[in-house]
Chains A and B, each alone.
Chain A
Amino acid sequence: MRATYLWILQLITGALIAILLGIHLALMHLDDTLGAGGEATGWTAMINRAGDGLFAALYIALLAVGLYHGINGLRGIVLETSPSPRTERIINWTSLVLGIIVFAGAAYVPVALLVS
């Protein structure tokens, strides 16, 4: 059932990406239309947002679901090359470790800004 849980998560993260990325794109490109002053893409506005707990959580969530969806999808593609059981285990562990490293590195900036 492990594959079933992983693929259910794949479906859930796909839906979450549509929502979170939608918020991100609306914020970046419709800020003027939405009456936010048209400065959303500016450096100061970006740093201010990153320091806001709600936005930091939104971006960290987008990072997490995007990473999971991407890496699990890539893992699925690689597993289609009919690897041996040993290679499959290596692919699974590499995907997990790669995901954790990238998440830790990319989440550092909003977390550091939030703490400071």
Chain B
Amino acid sequence: MTEESRKQVTFKVQRYDPEKDIKPYFQEFKVPSSRGTTILDGLLHIKETTDSSLTFRASCRMAICGSCGMLINDYPHLACHSQIEEFKTDTITLKPMPNLPIIKDLVCDMTPFFAKHRTVKPYIIRSDAEEMANPSTTYAQKPAELSDYLQFTYCIKCGICVSSCPTSASDSHFLGPQAMAQCYRYCADSRDDGQEERLPTVSGDHGAWNCHLAGACSEACPKGLDPALAIQLLKRRLTARALGIGREQEPSSLAPPPTGIKDKVPFPEFTVKG
């Protein structure tokens, strides 16, 4: 690699160890960068070559696990999903995600985030307990019914929407865009019958009605979800339920067992025998 294509950038990283430091401070590191180098690559370089005490979360390196959310140049991103080049600056400032407590350096405590996620019961709820426990077949669902909620299934629970939400910043009781988007995801699922259990959670003073529709969550989501839309759709469901309007939707029935399935094609024998 030529010198021109491999330049040095400065990573200004917020450091904080609650056992040693009174308050967070910044430390600068030089990181080699070339085309395609991600922020996570830079952080791994620092950890491997300069300071092994630097603490951050990362796992899959491909924007699937949702571990490496952080504030990059004052905007929440996934470190593995952000290339140094796209920031068009020689100094990259890295901080932990706001609206969540800091554990150390760039690592946030996700406990309140997942606690709120759990309150909306993010799983299929049905009355046929026996079928849920010992499924005999699948629940029927048309492609159009799937498209009602499909985008919200792509949530990787990285917390970026919550860290970008201005309401979450001012109201620690606010349920947050992630939990409410997941509430909508399951309420809109035609196989689900748990809306009556979930809606009371999001109908309070710190629920869907407290969303200001700033849209910051939808803009920041690294997976392109629109949690702000989900919250507006939840408001529609809450209004319909409160006024007793709209049609009641029965959960989908069991799909008939598949018929006319051909036997599996047998695995071919190896032509080259040992």
Contacts and interface: CB of A to CB of B under 8 A. Distances in A.
B204 interface: yes
A26 B209 CA distance: 33
B238 interface: yes
Contact of B172 (A3, A4, A7, A82): A82
B118 interface: no
A81 B203 contact: no
A100 to B, nearest CB: 21
B243 A8 contact: yes
Interface in B206-254: 206-207, 209-210, 235, 238-239, 241-243
Interface residues of A, number: 13
Contacts of B235: 7
A111 to B, nearest CB: 32
Contacts of A5: 242
B220 to A, nearest CB: 20
A3 B243 contact: no
Interface in A62-97: 76, 79-82, 88
Main secondary structure of the interface of B (DSSP, over half): helix
B170 A80 contact: yes
B200 interface: yes
A7 B205 CA distance: 9
A1 interface: yes
Contact of B170 (A7, A8, A81): A81
Contacts, number: 42
Contacts of B203: 1, 3-4
A4 B239 contact: yes
B173 interface: yes
A4 B207 CA distance: 10
Nearest to A76: B210
A79 B241 CA distance: 24
B83 interface: no
Nearest to B239: A8
A70 to B, nearest CB: 17
B209 A7 contact: yes
B209 A80 contact: no
Interface of A: 1, 3-8, 76, 79-82, 88
4 closest Cβ pairs, A-B complex = A7-B209, A80-B171, A82-B172, A4-B242
